[in-house]
């Protein structure tokens, strides 16, 4: 069912609950009050029926049917077309879910087209119906209540994002390998959130201005100003989130580079230590190789080896072994291999 709630108000009081749109049009003309029609993902023929009755711009109607619009406020004659991007924070998956709501407002009607669970327009209607004197101010009062509800629902989203950013700051120094991906995903959510909240200040200032979009009632001006203050503070908070995430990404890159440098330094130190060990082993192997070579030559026991019959042959062989070993030892010692 696409018609969620449908009523005709006179002097702020609910006087009728029409069963269909045609009955709403008839009662509105008869009672000269204000119609407030709430639609949820309406069919094209339903929205075009509303457009024909209230002379809505076909451009605005096409935007409402297509969806995926940016937050904005457009003026078509006596009709305002407001697009908002409400959001809610999902604790179970730690993500932000963004919705979309289109509001058509004229001298005697408000039509809301909702495409997500947020905002809670039933709560807005109950609040306004509990204050008939305020609701009697007309469609502008309903516009204020919707904007106020959307901005109020942004607060838990901001709190959830702030908590996620705090967790990322802890993960940065814990060498969590998944922190880069989490920073990127959270940055995308913050950017989308900023796109949803940034136009609010301009929208509210336009509604408070003296131009064709301006709200003439002083009481409503004060209420819109209060929402504007909340929207400005929220915008500053979201901008701070984005700056923090950019800094976190830079810090993470620096920490990753530092860890890589540390690993390279350790690898270099390990390679250097291995090289030193290889040098020592090679040096001693060369020193031991010299006497081994001489001994192996004289150990071949050939018949014609003059040193075998020489009285100084054995001392000469020993001296040669010691001399070559000593020379090699001193050479390697000089070169700091041992």
Specify whether 200 is located in the same domain as 245: yes
Q: What is the mean pLDDT of residues 298-320?
A: 70
DSSP class per residue in 204-266: HHHHHSSSTT----HHHHHHHHHHHHHHHHHHHHHHHHHHHHHHHHHHHHHHHHHHHHHHHHH
Q: Which two structure tokens, joined as six digits, stand for 49?
A: 């029926």
| pLDDT at 226 exceeding the cut of 80 | yes
pTM for this model (two decimals): 0.75
Is residue 116 within 8 A of residue 99, CB to CB? The reply is yes
Count Cβ atoms below 10 Å from residue 315 Cβ, excluding itself: 10
Q: Show contacts of 291-295: CB within 8 Å, 24+ apart.
A: 291/321, 291/322, 291/324, 291/325, 294/320, 294/321, 294/324, 295/321
Note the pLDDT of residue 322.
82
Smallest CA-to-CA distance from 40 within 122, 120, 125, 114 is with 114
pLDDT tens digits along 66-105: 888 899 999 998 899 999 999 999 988 889 999 999 999 9
Q: Which domain holds residue 297?
A: 268-334
Specify whether 238 is located in the same domain as 274: no
pLDDT tens digits along 115-148: 888 888 999 999 999 999 999 999 999 999 999 9
Specify whether 55 is located in the same domain as 162: yes
Number of domains in the chain: 2
| pLDDT at 302 exceeding the cut of 70 | no
| pLDDT at 256 exceeding the cut of 80 | no
Q: What is the mean pLDDT of residues 15-23?
A: 88
Identify the weakest region by mean pLDDT among 55-59, 243-247, 256-260. Answer: 256-260
For residue 24, is it within any domain?
yes
Specify whether 58 is located in the same domain as 198: yes
Specify whether 329 is located in the same domain as 230: no
Specify whether 186 is located in the same domain as 303: no
For residue 244, is it within any domain?
yes
70: left (phi over 0), alpha (psi -120 to 50) or beta: beta
State what percent of residues in the chain have pLDDT above 70.
93
List the CATH number of the domain containing 41: 3.30.460.20
């Amino acid at each position: 069912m696409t018609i969620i709630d449908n009523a005709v108000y006179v002097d702020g009081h609910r006087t009728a609950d029409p069963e269909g749109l045609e009955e709403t049009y008839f009662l509105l003309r008869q009672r000269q009050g204000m119609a407030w029609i709430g639609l949820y993902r309406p069919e094209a023929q339903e929205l075009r029926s509303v457009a024909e009755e209230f002379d809505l711009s076909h451009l605005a109607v096409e935007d409402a049917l297509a969806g995926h619009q940016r937050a904005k406020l457009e003026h078509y004659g006596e009709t305002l077309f407001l697009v908002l991007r409400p959001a809610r924070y999902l604790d179970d998956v730690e993500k932000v879910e963004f919705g979309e709501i289109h509001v058509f407002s004229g001298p005697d009607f408000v039509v809301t087209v909702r495409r997500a669970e947020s905002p809670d327009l039933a709560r807005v209607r109950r609040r306004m119906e509990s204050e008939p004197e305020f609701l009697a101010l007309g469609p502008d009062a309903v516009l204020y209540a919707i904007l106020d509800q959307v901005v109020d629902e942004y607060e838990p989203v901001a709190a959830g994002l702030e908590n996620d950013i705090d967790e990322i700051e802890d993960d940065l120094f814990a060498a969590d390998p998944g922190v880069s991906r989490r920073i990127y995903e959270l940055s995308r959510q913050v950017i989308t959130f900023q796109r949803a909240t940034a136009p609010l200040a301009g929208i509210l200032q336009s509604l408070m201005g003296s131009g064709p979009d301006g709200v003439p009632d002083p009481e409503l001006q004060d209420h819109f100003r209060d929402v504007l203050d909340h929207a400005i503070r929220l915008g500053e908070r979201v901008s701070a989130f984005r700056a923090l995430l950019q800094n976190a990404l830079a810090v993470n890159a620096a920490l990753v580079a530092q860890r890589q440098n540390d690993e390279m330094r350790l690898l270099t130190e390990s390679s250097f230590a291995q090289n030193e060990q290889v040098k020592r082993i090679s040096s001693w192997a060369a020193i031991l190789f010299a006497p081994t070579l001489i001994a192996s030559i004289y150990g071949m026991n050939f018949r014609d080896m003059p040193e075998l019959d020489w009285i100084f042959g054995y001392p000469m062989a020993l001296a040669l072994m010691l001399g070559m070993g000593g020379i090699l030892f001193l050479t390697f010692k000089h070169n700091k291999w041992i």
